[in-house]
Amino acid sequence: MKRVATIVILLALAAGVYFYAYPRLSGASSAEAQQATPGDGSAQHGQANSGQGNSSQASAGQAAALAQQKQGGRPGGGFPTGVVTAVAQQQDIPITKSAVGYIEPANTVVVRSRVDGTVVAVNVTDGQLVKAGDVLLKLDDRALQATIAKDQAQIAKDQANADSAQASLEREQDLVKRGVDPQSSLDAATAAAKAAQATVTVDQASLQGDQVSLSYMTITAPIAGRLGTVNTSTGNVVHASDTSTDGIVTITEMSQLRVSFSIAEGDLDSFRAALAKGKKLPVEIRVPGDKTPRATGNLSFIDSSVDTGSGTIIIKADVDNSAGKLWPGQYVSTTTELGSYAGVTTVPLQAVQQSDSGAYVFAIGTDNKAHRVPVTVTAAVGDTAILNSKVTPGQHVVVEGQLRLTEGSAVKETVQPPAQQVADTQATGGSPPAGTGTAAPPAPAAGGTAAPAAGSAPATGSASGAAIGASS
């Protein structure tokens, strides 16, 4: 018990010392702090007594810093947002329609034998190019040769009989004139002469028929083209009654081909209207992987009815294949030029953004800030948008970095080359043309939005090339 009482007393003394000495020690520390930093005592006192006020000030400061960060800069200066821009251009854009089709031959012949016979010679091979009249194969014609010789002998015999009958007729005519023979004898002689001459005519017709059959024993190419598979060989017997799909061989004309493709029923009027102008409608033909057209044809045929099942209609174009770049049955992509948009304002399609209020682009003003400009897209051709709006040729529009922009955001732009310069660069593998190092000043935008002035923002060599291309 004594130990417990002693511990309680010690604890009470310690507590008393603490409550007595701590306020005085804290006061001394505050005084020392006031002497070390004169004039700050009131601030520290305010901080000790008004922590809630300081917390409100910190929150306001954070809100201001966040607002400045959203605006893209630091207080008093600002960091411009880096964007990529393109120059709006004035161009003539062709109106085109694309479709997938296939190549078909303009002329194909399945060669068959017109007489029965045995093949004695094959003069061609699979896939060979032939001209009209070239001999493909020969049949055994010995029997027909003998028949023709017989016909010729029969003609000679009957011609002799006809000559004898004619001589008898002439004698009877003389005798009747002198009154020696009666008229009936003259009539009989006349009939015999005519019958003999008719027999000769029949013989000649029979000879001509056999000569035609003999010509069938030599099978020739009716058209120029490329052979398919030769489906016979020496020693085989061919028949005139053969109706197989492939026949002896198939010849396909290769120099003149057609491309056949289908268009939607909704595009029919545009094709008909273009044909009604009396101009040739070019059709460019590409094979998958081609960067340039492999051949160009002219639209020649629109089917007479629309397929009710698919809602499409067949279109065909004649193609000159003298270079041999296309093949019958080959699937291709076609592009038909139906006209053009003349002198329209164009921008890259990726510059156009969508919102609840409609399409818009970010245009760069003279103050090096992005301004939101509402636009109307007349048409989109490939990666190019045709605008009917306040954007003017020469104005810079943002094509990359739009999501980081708001109305009035400060920007630092890099101007990309125009589409034509990009295409030339890709084709040659070189760099865009270098300029003077300063982007050319675009034309002011309608409605108060203008493009940046010259020297307002440094440009790289690519940007300079783009500016020069736009101004030219």
What is the CATH number that goes with domain 96-106+253-340? 2.40.30.170
Q: pLDDT digit of tens for each residue in the chain (472 aa)?
A: 667 777 878 887 777 766 665 555 444 444 443 444 444 433 343 343 344 444 444 444 444 444 444 444 433 345 889 999 999 999 888 888 999 999 999 999 999 999 999 999 999 999 999 999 999 999 999 999 999 999 999 999 999 999 999 998 888 888 888 888 888 888 888 999 999 999 999 999 999 999 999 999 999 999 999 999 999 999 999 999 998 888 999 999 999 999 999 999 999 998 998 888 878 889 999 999 898 999 999 999 999 999 999 999 999 999 999 889 999 999 999 999 888 888 899 999 999 999 998 999 999 988 889 999 999 998 888 888 999 878 989 999 999 998 999 999 999 989 888 754 333 333 333 333 333 333 333 333 333 333 333 333 333 333 333 333 333 2
- State pTM to two decimals: 0.57
Q: Identify the pLDDT of residue 100.
A: 95
Using DSSP bridges, classify how beta strands 358-364 and 370-374 pair: parallel, antiparallel or unpaired: antiparallel
- Burial (Cβ within 10 Å: 0-12, 13-18, ≥19) of residue 315: buried
Using DSSP bridges, classify how beta strands 411-415 and 81-87 pair: parallel, antiparallel or unpaired: parallel
283 within 8 A of 334, measured Cβ to Cβ: yes
368 within 8 A of 410, measured Cβ to Cβ: yes
| The CATH number of domain 110-138+224-252 is 3.30.420 | no
Look at residues 5, 254, 253 and name the one whose alpha carbon lies nearest to residue 109: 253
Q: Identify the pLDDT of residue 17.
A: 65
Matching CATH number, 81-91+342-471, of 3.10.310.10, 3.20.20.70, 3.40.50.11260, 2.40.420.20: 2.40.420.20
Look at residues 277, 267, 276, 278 and name the one whose alpha carbon lies nearest to residue 315: 267
Location of structure tokens 């006061």? 27
| Domains of the chain by residue range | 81-91+342-471, 96-106+253-340, 110-138+224-252, 141-216
The residue count of the chain comes to 472
Here the tokens at position 201 are: 């005519």
